[in-house]
Amino acid sequence: MPYRNYNTWMGDPTRTLQARQIIRTIQDHDLVQKTDEVGNYIYEKLTDMIENGAGRGKVEKLRGENAGTFLAFDGKTPEVRDKLIMEMRKLGVHMGGCGDKAVRLRPMLVFEQKHADLFLEKLDKALAQL
């Protein structure tokens, strides 16, 4: 019988239509390519910030090169990571930790370079406060 095996995990026809439209939107706006470009931009800027800027000695182990905007880095210690998260929240950026001392970035597909610039500006300020 129809819908007998319904579940909340995209199993009904409406969710199939929604998924199809999401895929069309991703393709029509070339969001995967844009995400790759923005991710590479952020990675380059974070590398410089960690090696030469406000993150030097506070942030380490940047990960996610060529992985779009799926990036991560570690605070030098769990305490540094936690202080960084709190400083970012004070600056209006919601971010959280992962594991003992990591921060993961997982922005939406519509995250553009202008958003990355805002994030990086606030991250630089937050790191300077540590």
pLDDT in tens, 35-78: 999 999 999 999 999 999 999 999 999 999 999 999 999 999 99
pLDDT of residue 64: 96
Question: Would you place residue 19 in the very low, low, confident or very high pLDDT band (cuts 50, 70, 90)?
Answer: confident
pTM: 0.85
pLDDT of residue 4: 59
pLDDT value at 80 more than 80: yes
pLDDT value at 6 more than 60: no
- Mean pLDDT in residue range 100-111: 94
pLDDT of residue 2: 59
- Mean pLDDT in residue range 22-30: 96
pLDDT of residue 74: 98
Burial 85-121 (b: 16+ CB within 10 A, else e): bebbeeeeeebebeeebebebebebebeeeebeebbe
- Mean pLDDT in residue range 8-18: 73
